Structure 1
């Protein structure tokens, strides 16, 4: 993290109600601006994208089973040996046979190089199954990335409306302090002329002290919201513009919401792709019982000499070799059977996880939809409460001026008005967050709907970049087609799917 970014986060945590500074900003920050910045810089999202690129490499690695491997090697060696008992040997000297001592050491030297080419011709379907599993992992990873994107965007929306809510609460608290300060001044003035008693003044002082305490609390809450905003978005909130309506994105009925969940919810889709990957790994485990065929060719050069026995520099023996090998396991001590059983249990777990993801998604959409209905009802009630409370407050003030109401009545009316205004601000925030939660449960809380002008990250581009990298050979499709012959099936077993209709429908 840069020093400027760290300073920004510290400023968010330490700033307390900088309303005047916010009002001075010329350009209001919109929700789309916050979403765009978080979409481009949020570390959680960036980390998940890196994880997805890591997963993409699994497909490339699985494809290498269909491609040749070329290995080259070179060596040079030399040995000098001191003989403990060299002995003697007969030699003819001057026409006579005499014994002469042998050499007291032996030298040898050698050098060589080799080049080998290996190609798998048939793996019994194991390579094909591993490739299918890797491709399913990529698809599941994309759904996980989509889920993380939704979570980050949901956090941005919540932190955005939290800051706006707490700014409004601070404004209401400041206005409340201002009104109660004026009320206290009026009470003191009336006390001096004998219209009210010391009790009325004390009541005004007590309410003002409580309002000042509430103001301090509102400042602290706003500072915490600003810090949370900076953590998820990446910068301090400025003058936040009103959030746009999400009504156009919401379904017309809960039935439509349930219909879309099974198709769009990323958790369900990721679980289904994970089930496909598990089924492919079962096929890979079963393929070990089938024969494998591979070809190998080699070319080597070798030069060695003992005691410099006449070989000239550059005299190399050349050897060419080739082989086709077929193998099949006959006995592995139960290893292969155990691996097949383990793969089947992983497939069972993946199948059960699909059911669990569906149930959880149905619970999420049910909870989110009911929260939305409740928040809408609360919003309507709070709007009516604020309207009625304002009328009541003005009426109590006028009645006090003619002696029909006491100072305590005015103070109570002011408190009720402030509480109603705060409740309305909270209700608006809750309704917006509930709307976003419905969209997230449906799987449509994305930048395409929230910030359509923003350039979106496309995981397919990074996948294509590595998938079409160097390594492909012309005969790879032929090897892949041959490898599937007689191989185990990678299809997912049919299983009943969870109902996606609303409970009780």
Structure 2
């Protein structure tokens, strides 16, 4: 729960800075999450829900404490024709105390309130984790779609030059119609890809703005080689064990199980006696107006004090079988909670293994795609040279360029998947919080045309 309070403090501290966008300021992932924590209405609702449910702990404990009440009354009686007590004023007060001595139901209410409050804390942490994940995915998606758009623009430019060359060559009789048509097809495809990439980037930006209230143009690119320097454990068994203990879904299921245990205690307690201490002190006044001898005889005017203390015992004998039925229901609910807890642990372990495999495979695939991109670039250069010396045709050069831009987009997708897998692994092991996002502060060189910079 301490990390939640730290996150709340950081959010409050930086909120004044985050909500005022700066004109040329690059927005890091940490800043985007902080902006979302102030802007997003869903996380605000989750905070209010947590504050409300946290009162259950106090309410449950209060049922174990004594109840003290002060009662009083004032009455005036007027009987003009009565032989006595023609006018009587009465007033009284009483101070009463009730203290449960043995009441399993109240103890169970305390335990249940404590479990509900703990679950509320975890529910808020889950909401914060969901917000971090949503913002990070939107942040990464904007970067990825920028990369796709940049690749599409470069491809269209290259294919446009090739199309002009083939048209000129066809006019002077040095080219063929087949080469011109091939270049035209590649150019038209690149134009369509650019339109689709612009639409996808605009949609990704809208999602990011909806979550954070910030301009997606402020997002800074990320150097993946820098992110990869942060180590990830090779022992996925240890990561699975960590997920089984610290995964937030597991912790939520654990506190839900605690609630069912409290309900079971309450159901069993319904078969037991309830012992209560009761004490009271009070005074009664009665005063007759224009009293006579009859008022004196019958005590119309009087003042009495009373005090009492005792123990009340209530023993349940028969309730039509409802209490037995409630006990059976509570046992089944507890077993259901245990099954759900085990299911949450199994899912956490499975998702951790899946994220770990994607992360490790992503590292290998990233290195392989970098080599493939370098090879594709060399092939473009060699094919271009080969066409100049008559060993390759313009169609060969077009195919080489097409393969290069396809590899470029594949590399961008690999980087996007790697970032999401790293985020997913942190979430499943219960480590995803604001401080973890510092790993993504590695900014790429702004001079590079690549929006997700490759390692050098």
TM (norm. structure 1) is 0.72
Moved more, 155-164 or 316-325: 316-325
Residue 229 of structure 1 and its aligned partner are, at CA, apart by 1.4
CA distance in 1, matches of 2:410, 2:349: 30
CA distance in 1, matches of 2:396, 2:155: 16
Note the 1:49-448 alignment, pairs <5 A. Answer: 49-73=47-71, 112=91, 114-243=93-222, 245=227, 247-248=229-230, 250-288=232-270, 289-299=272-282, 301=284, 320-324=306-310, 325-448=312-435
Residue 392 of structure 1 and its aligned partner are, at CA, apart by 0.9
CA distance in 2, matches of 1:328, 1:346: 26
CA distance in 2, matches of 1:178, 1:109: 106
Moved more, 115-124 or 337-346: 115-124
| 1:68–1:117 contact (8 Å) kept in structure 2 | no
Distance 1:202 1:391, change over 3 A: same
| 1:139–1:273 contact (8 Å) kept in structure 2 | yes
CA distance in 1, matches of 2:219, 2:399: 32
CA distance in 1, matches of 2:382, 2:87: 116
What SS does the aligned partner of 1:194 have?
Answer: coil
Q: Which structure has more helix as a fraction of its residues?
A: 2
| 1:62–1:131 contact (8 Å) kept in structure 2 | yes
CA distance in 2, matches of 1:180, 1:25: 36
Moved more, 443-452 or 278-287: 443-452
Distance 1:204 1:305, change over 3 A: farther
What SS does the aligned partner of 1:118 have?
Answer: strand
Residue 202 of structure 1 and its aligned partner are, at CA, apart by 3.1
Q: Show structure 2 runs of 5+ residues with no match.
A: 1-21, 296-300, 440-456
Deviations 1:401-425 (A, max 9, x none): 2333333222222211111101100
| 2:67–2:99 contact (8 Å) kept in structure 1 | no
CA distance in 2, matches of 1:422, 1:76: 87
CA distance in 1, matches of 2:354, 2:258: 30
Residue 342 of structure 1 and its aligned partner are, at CA, apart by 1.9
Distance 1:193 1:294, change over 3 A: same
CA distance in 2, matches of 1:296, 1:333: 33
Distance 1:113 1:424, change over 3 A: farther
CA distance in 2, matches of 1:372, 1:113: 77
Residue 111 of structure 1 and its aligned partner are, at CA, apart by 6.1
Residue 259 of structure 1 and its aligned partner are, at CA, apart by 2.8
Q: Show structure 1 runs of 5+ residues with no match.
A: 1-23, 82-101, 453-505
What SS does the aligned partner of 2:217 have?
Answer: coil
Residue 364 of structure 1 and its aligned partner are, at CA, apart by 0.8
> What corresponds to 1:15 in structure 2?
none
Residue 108 of structure 1 and its aligned partner are, at CA, apart by 8.0
| 1:118–1:297 contact (8 Å) kept in structure 2 | yes
CA distance in 2, matches of 1:347, 1:165: 46
CA distance in 2, matches of 1:273, 1:403: 75
Residue 393 of structure 1 and its aligned partner are, at CA, apart by 1.1
| 1:45–1:149 contact (8 Å) kept in structure 2 | yes
What SS does the aligned partner of 1:355 have?
Answer: helix
CA distance in 2, matches of 1:52, 1:216: 45
What SS does the aligned partner of 2:218 have?
Answer: coil
Distance 1:75 1:241, change over 3 A: same
| 2:144–2:416 contact (8 Å) kept in structure 1 | yes
> What corresponds to 2:5 in structure 1?
none
Deviations 1:317-350 (A, max 9, x none): 5553434222222222223222222222211111
Residue 80 of structure 1 and its aligned partner are, at CA, apart by 9.3
CA distance in 2, matches of 1:230, 1:108: 78
TM (norm. structure 2) is 0.79
Residue 291 of structure 1 and its aligned partner are, at CA, apart by 2.9
Distance 1:398 1:25, change over 3 A: farther
Deviations 1:22-70 (A, max 9, x none): xx96321111211222344433333222222222111111122222333
RMSD, aligned CA = 3.0
| 2:283–2:305 contact (8 Å) kept in structure 1 | yes
Deviations 1:104-132 (A, max 9, x none): xxx98866454442322313333223212
Count of residues paired in the alignment? 404
CA distance in 1, matches of 2:228, 2:255: 30
Q: Highest Rg: 1 or 2?
A: 1
What SS does the aligned partner of 1:248 have?
Answer: coil
Residue 221 of structure 1 and its aligned partner are, at CA, apart by 0.5
CA distance in 1, matches of 2:287, 2:205: 78
> What corresponds to 2:444 in structure 1?
none
Distance 1:80 1:379, change over 3 A: same
